[in-house]
Amino acid sequence: MSRKSDRTRNQIVQAANRLFYRSGYGGTSFTDVVAAAGVPRGNIYYYFRTKDDILHAAIEYRLEVIRAMLDEWNRKFADPADRLKRFLQVVAASRHAMAQWGCPMGTLNTELGKARPELRADSRRMFDLFVAWMTEQFASLGQAEHSRAHALRLLAWAQGLTVLCHVYADPELLARETRELERWIDTVDARPR
C-alpha cells in the first residue's frame, strides 16, 4: 500500500476503534465508521468488506499499541514491581474515560462474548498479552510458582475496579484502589533484600 493508502486505512481503523469503545461493537454501524473516519463510503470497501474485518483490524491496532507500551515499560523500568505499578498507574490515569465508558478491553470482550462469541477469541488476545507480560513480571519478583495466578488476580482486580468505576461513575474509586493494588505488589515481591 502507498503511504496515503496506509494513512486512510489507519484513519478508518482508529475511528472504528474509538467508536467500538464508546458505542460498542453492536452499537456502531458501518455508516458511523464512515462518518467518523471522514472517508467516502466507497473508499472503506477498498480496505474492509465487512464490519467484522474492521473489528479485526481494530483489535490488531490495539495489540500493537499494547505491545509498544509494554516494550517501553520493559526498557524504561528496570524493576518488575515498577513495571506492574506502571500498569496500574495507566489504569488510574484513564479513570475519567473508564468512568464514562468502562475499560476498552473489558467492554469489548464482554459484548462479543454475549453477542458474537465467534469473535471473542480474537478480542481475548489483548488480555492474553497482558497476562503473559504480568506473569513474566511476577516470576521476576521471585514468584515463579504463582506468577500466572498473580497475573490473573491483578488483571481481575483491575477489571473489576474499572467496572465499578463505570457503574458508579466514580473515577476516584479507581485511583484510590489502584494505589492499594500497588501496595499489594510490594507484599508479593519475594526477592531477597
- Give the model confidence (pLDDT) of 21-62 as tens digits: 999 999 999 899 999 999 988 888 899 999 999 999 999 999
Residues 141, 163: contact at Cβ < 8 Å?
no
Q: What is the mean pLDDT of residues 131-137?
A: 98
- How many other CB atoms are there within 10 angstroms of residue 11's CB atom? 16
pLDDT at 118: 86
Triad 85, 86, 89: Cα angle to 5°: 90
Percent of the chain with pLDDT over 90: 84
In the chain, CATH 1.10.10.60 sits at 1-59
Task: Please check the confidence at residue 1 and state whether its pLDDT lies above 60.
Answer: no
**1-59 maps to CATH 3.30.1490.110:** no
What global pTM score does this model have? 0.92
Mean pLDDT, to the nearest integer, of 7-14? Answer: 94
Average pLDDT, stretch 184-188? 96
Average pLDDT of the chain is 94
Residue 182 cell numbers, joined: 500497588
Name the segment(s) of the chain with CATH classification 1.10.357.10.
Answer: 77-193
First vs last C-alpha separation in the chain: 53
pLDDT at 137 (0 to 100): 98
User: Which three three-digit cell numbers place residue 116?
Assistant: 458474537
CATH architecture of 77-193: Orthogonal Bundle (1.10)
pLDDT at 50: 92
CA-CA distance, 98 to 91, in Å (whole number)? 8
